[in-house]
Amino acid sequence: MTHSTPTASSPSAPEDGARTGRPDRNLALELVRATEAAAIRAVPFIGKGDKIAVDGAAVDAMRAFLSTVSFDGVVVIGEGEKDEAPMLFNGERVGNGQGPACDVAVDPVDGTSMAAAGRQNALSVIAVADRGAMLDASSVFYMDKLVTGPEGRGVVDIRKPVGENIRALAAALGKRPEEVVVAILDRPRHEGIVREIREAGAGTRLLLDGDVAGGINAARSGTRIDMCVGIGGSPEGVTTACAVKALGGFMQGVLAPKDDAERDRGLAAGLLMDHVYDADDLVKGEDAFFVATGVTDGGLLDGVRYGDGVIRTESIVLRTQSGTVRRVVAEHLASKWL
């Protein structure tokens, strides 16, 4: 038994769910069930220090719920290759095989290390688009990314120094550079760019893990983050692009192979090296969904909460076709999850 309270942060444009062979708007609520399940099942392992256990519980729950969804999905962007974690693997078929043919990007827990450590900002994430719409970047694990709100379009460029981009974006936002906040993964590889950000006068929001939420908050209006930069996972880049397109934000990405062998694998797979991909290159078309449920509390979503015989979840649902942002707060009878 689930009580859901959806709210929209923008006026809802007409949504046509009757187009044969295309993702239907009702698909969004079906996908939320899968991210909710993954988040709930991960909770017993939060703070226990075992990220494999966190991921394994979430993967099993997401796979089980996706099997009931009316669509013919193929996982284009899966998780697990980087650290041999449990995974919904690339090429895996999901859904009941009926309904629209879709590409699927999954991350049962974006931020497994954070969840395992009991830290904030872990999410369960699914993105869905028309079949053939998502860039399969699986042969190159990392991508250099730049995300802003719509004000960054035609103003910032990933090929420019970060300080120049900060000053340009600040002017477009009507701010001083000192008021700009830039999100970036807290990694040794980013020490130089963090120094450049601060030398430009901007502040940093250092992310411990999982840059999907950072990218979304950079693209959304009304958040404290103005820009998200740096090298993170290419799967997360494609997933983030679904959200950025729905939010009307701006995104660029450049694949960042670790070595020549990975670069060669990417070229053999048809990927473009040293090429600036934009959001429309990463996810083609205008009919895609992004769905996320909070696992632990964060700036984007509240985490799973238990109390008074119910389990409370908070999710966000974005759709590119309508440009809507919906929050779904659900209360699940805890007895159904024992």
Asked if residue 118 and residue 173 are part of one domain, the reply reads no
Is 211 annotated in a binding site? The answer is: yes
Is 142 annotated in a binding site? The answer is: yes
pLDDT given at position 23: 63
Is 187 annotated in a binding site? The answer is: yes
Tokens read off for 267: 């070229």
Interval 255-311: pLDDT, tens: 999 999 999 999 999 999 999 999 999 999 888 999 999 999 988 999 999 998 999
Is 297 annotated in a binding site? The answer is: no
Is 264 annotated in a binding site? The answer is: no
Tell whether 137 is covered by a domain: no
Is 23 annotated in a binding site? The answer is: no
Is 111 annotated in a binding site? The answer is: yes
Whether residue 15 contacts residue 321, with contact meaning beta carbons closer than 8 Å, is answered with yes
Asked if residue 102 and residue 180 are part of one domain, the reply reads no
Could you tell me the CATH number of the domain that includes residue 157? 3.40.190.90
Please count the structural domains in the chain: 2
Asked if residue 262 and residue 157 are part of one domain, the reply reads yes
Is 119 annotated in a binding site? The answer is: no
Is 30 annotated in a binding site? The answer is: no
Asked if residue 298 and residue 184 are part of one domain, the reply reads no
Tell whether 1 is covered by a domain: no
Is 16 annotated in a binding site? The answer is: no
Asked if residue 147 and residue 94 are part of one domain, the reply reads no
Interval 52-111: pLDDT, tens: 999 999 999 999 999 999 999 999 988 644 445 557 888 889 999 988 999 999 999 988
Asked if residue 209 and residue 158 are part of one domain, the reply reads yes
Out of 241, 265, 282, a domain closes at: 282
Tell whether 7 is covered by a domain: no
Is 136 annotated in a binding site? The answer is: no
* Distance separating alpha carbons of residues 316 and 293, to the nearest angstrom: 7
Is 294 annotated in a binding site? The answer is: no
Domain housing 308 = 26-131+287-336
Is 149 annotated in a binding site? The answer is: no
